């Protein structure tokens, strides 16, 4: 169905990124998978993928990777901006440096990479850019202000980019995952308890940590990464992909309530989660 389309995917060392890289490689795409932890992508190489080391916040890394692929392949057909992480905690207490670092990964690094890939797509008048956002790009939750704002920013950025690139036949697609079984909680929830579990927001923090860990134990409250991988594949294969797709546990009901229930109802629901 495809003639070895060239894919560049970030954050491919675990979770959604790795699952997507595996599936696309098996489906006949030529996949360049990048992440800082190259040693965790050996299995991708064994499948026929091409792992490369890259720190999304370093412009020299981005230039090196994209130049390498363009030199070998001549172009990139599909860019999947998947790399991202969450910093959680009270707005009052999260160090601005840490919040800034998260924006560097979730938005500015993603933006630098997209800028580097775009010229070859624009010249060929062909390409797809798939940005992995989050249900948090449309809703909000306690202790998530910095993360939520980075995803809200990504959604607005992607919408503007989509309109800009329409004359060049380049699609921009937003994917909004819900609760997915990945390293996300290890990266965000454990530090939340350690750093803010004894401060002025301790009651709320510890309640949220308990809620998150209880939810993680029940597989019904999360979906495997393959759910998002299948959506990505659907968007890639679509001649006219939708601007956004949502998938994964809880995301559609929560987004529905947020949209149609109004602020007060949604505030009440998320407040109940941390009592």
Q: How far apart are CA 209 and CA 124, in angstroms?
A: 48
> What 8-state DSSP symbol labels residue 55?
-
Identify whether 147 is a catalytic site residue.
yes
Q: Where are the beta strands (DSSP E) in 109-247?
A: 127-132, 170-177, 244-247
Give the burial class of 191: count Cβ atoms within 10 A of its Cβ; 0-12 exposed, 13-18 middle, 19 or more buried. middle
Give the burial class of 2: count Cβ atoms within 10 A of its Cβ; 0-12 exposed, 13-18 middle, 19 or more buried. middle
Q: How far apart are CA 257 and CA 263, in angstroms?
A: 9
Cα-based distances in Å from 168 to 73, 171, 172, 173: 20, 9, 11, 15
Tokens 């491919």 map to which residue?
12
Q: Work out whether the CA dihedral 241, 122, 228, 45 comes out positive or negative.
A: positive
Contact 145, 194 (CB under 8 A): no
Task: Please list, in sequence order, all residues whose beta carbon lies within 8 angstroms of the beta carbon of residue 218, skipping any fewer than 6 positions away.
Answer: none
- The phi, psi pair for 128, rounded to 5°, reads -135, 135
Which tokens go with 213?
């860990």
Find, among 128, 124, 26, the residue nearest to 75 by Cα: 124
The one catalytic residue among 147, 196, 245, 266: 147
Residues identified as active-site: 147
């Amino acid at each position: 169905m495809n003639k070895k389309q060239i894919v560049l995917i970030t954050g491919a060392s675990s979770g959604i990124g790795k699952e997507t890289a595996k599936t696309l490689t098996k489906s006949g795409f030529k996949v360049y998978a990048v992440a800082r932890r190259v040693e965790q992508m050996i299995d991708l190489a064994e499948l026929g993928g091409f792992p490369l080391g890259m720190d999304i916040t370093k412009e020299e890394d981005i230039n090196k990777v994209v130049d390498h692929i363009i030199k070998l392949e001549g172009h990139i057909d599909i860019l999947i901006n998947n790399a991202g992480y969450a910093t959680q905690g009270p707005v009052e207490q999260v160090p601005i440096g840490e919040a800034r670092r998260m924006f560097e990964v979730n938005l500015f690094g993603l933006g630098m990479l997209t800028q580097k890939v775009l010229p070859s797509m624009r010249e060929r008048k062909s390409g797809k850019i798939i940005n992995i956002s989050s249900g948090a790009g449309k809703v909000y939750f306690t202790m998530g202000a910095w993360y939520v704002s980075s995803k809200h920013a990504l959604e607005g950025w992607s919408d503007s980019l989509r309109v800009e690139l329409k004359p060049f036949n380049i699609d921009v697609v937003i994917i909004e995952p819900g609760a997915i079984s990945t390293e996300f909680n290890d990266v965000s929830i454990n530090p939340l308890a350690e750093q803010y579990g004894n401060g002025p927001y301790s009651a709320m923090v510890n309640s949220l940590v308990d809620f998150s860990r209880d939810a993680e134990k029940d597989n019904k409250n999360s979906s495997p990464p393959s759910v998002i991988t299948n959506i990505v594949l659907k968007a890639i294969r679509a001649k006219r992909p939708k601007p956004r797709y949502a998938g994964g546990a809880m995301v559609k009901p929560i987004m529905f309530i947020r949209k149609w229930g109004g602020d007060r109802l949604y505030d009440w629901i998320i407040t109940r989660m941390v009592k």
